[in-house]
Amino acid sequence: MEISTSRRSDALGVLRAFVLLLGMGAIASALDRLLSEYTLASPLFCLFAFDLLMRRRGAVWDATGQRTARQAASRGAVGFGLGALVVMLVVGVAWVMGWAEVAVGGPTFTGLGLGAIGSLVGAARDEVLFRGAPLVLCKDRIPDRWALPFVALLGAAPHVLQQNTTMLGIAIVLLSGWVFALAVRAGRGLWMAWGAHAGWLFMLEVGTRGELLDVGLGDGVWMPIAYAQGHAAWVVLGMVALVAGVASVVFYRSVGCRQ
């Protein structure tokens, strides 16, 4: 009877967590539509609201509880560099293959500044909503071997319901979500994943659109990522798949060593 009661309690806990996640996702989607003219309004509101809600449920940005502000920022900066590097590698491969034209951009303080802020805020909102919140709600109920794939699927789910998305784009979102989920666990907190996500977004949305580089894709599309198509988009998928494979091997080997 005790085991049955325990399992029932866990099942109800998972159900409540799933309903809460659905509600948070619905709110974020509705605000994105309502406040579409104000780029930062929806991500900022959702970030602060969801972060406060999850903190009350035990969520923390630093799972170690020992990092200083400088150490946390350093971890985020390293992640930012790695995320940006992946995009630069994608650009290089697409250019070599003849699927992208690359020229030096014309950076402006306004463009770089607003682009960086938008990327940081958007990445923070998504990491709290699609990685931090689910992993906290799954804690002590679902083991990581199931929770991490669930989190990756959760991040891709909203895009499946949108019109005109591509299977190629969904695959990229799914694999990148897996990488960010591993980064949360490997980095023992959200800082590394947040930085990597922000660096990835910054280079795709700003860095390759005239601020640092001017990348022409012909009839190809990179952003929004769920709508990716064309030869260059296949390069993105291949690179993200490679990063996901390497990250998985490194992560699970490190977990095995700790055990």
Q: Higher confidence at residue 40 or residue 176?
A: 176
In this predicted model, what pLDDT tens digit does every residue of 11-67 receive, in sequence order? 555 566 666 666 766 777 777 677 767 677 777 777 777 777 777 777 777 777 777
Nearest to 126 by CA among 98, 161, 151: 151
Q: How far is CA 96 from CA 4, 116, 203, in A?
A: 60, 28, 19
Can you tell me the distance from the alpha carbon of 206 to that of 115, in angstroms, rounded to the nearest whole number?
6
Q: Can you give the residue ranges of every domain in the chain?
A: 2-258
Q: State the pLDDT at residue 198.
A: 95
In this predicted model, what pLDDT tens digit does every residue of 120-135 receive, in sequence order? 998 988 888 888 878 8
pLDDT of 226 above 80: yes
The mean per-residue pLDDT over the stretch 136-162 comes to: 78
Contact between residue 219 and residue 155 where contact means Cβ atoms under 8 Å apart: no
Residue 186: which pLDDT band, with cuts at 50, 70 and 90? confident
Query: What percent of the chain is predicted at pLDDT more than 90?
Result: 22
Nearest to 24 by CA among 137, 115, 170, 148: 137
Q: How many CB atoms lie within 10 A of CB 4?
A: 8
192, two tokens: 């590394």
If you average pLDDT over every residue of the chain, what do you get? Answer: 81
pLDDT of 2 above 60: no
